Every structure is written in C-alpha cells, then in structure tokens.
Amino acid sequence: MEHNPPAAWLTEAARAAETQGAGKLLRVILIVMVLGSVLTAWFLLRGYKSKDE
C-alpha cells in the first residue's frame, strides 16, 4: 500500500494545470459575467436616485 500525504492531490493538480494552460474561454466568461452584473446593478439602482425637484 502506497502512502500519499494529504496535500499530494494539490501538487498533482498544480502540475496538471501547468500543462493544460490558463483556460482563456473560462477567463473571458468570468469577466463578461462580472461586467454584466455591475452594469445590471447600475441600471437597476439608478432608478432609486432621489430627485430634488
């Protein structure tokens, strides 16, 4: 039976990530989601601005 330290899966995953690349599509999707959320919040919250008329 082979003894594997608890953090062995983490180092193995880090080595695998180096060979697989950064995941450009996932990065683009995350950026678009964040920007979309910010723009949606701005659009919805701008209606709550108090008007001094």
**Domain-wise residue ranges, the chain:** 22-53
Percentage of the residues of the chain whose pLDDT score is greater than 90? 30
The answer to whether residue 28 scores a pLDDT higher than 60 is yes
- Written as one letter, the residue type at 14 is A
Nearest CA-CA partner of 31 in 43, 21, 19, 23: 23
Task: Report the residue count for the chain.
Answer: 53
Average pLDDT (33-49) is 91
Lowest mean pLDDT of 1-10, 20-29, 34-43, name the range.
1-10
- Written as one letter, the residue type at 24 is K
3-state secondary structure at position 3:
coil
Q: What DSSP designation does 47 have?
A: G
Give the pLDDT of residue 25. Answer: 82
What's the pLDDT band for 39 if we cut at 50, 70, 90? very high
Give the pLDDT of residue 16. Answer: 65
Q: Which helix (H) or strand (E) is 27 found in, with range?
A: helix 24-45
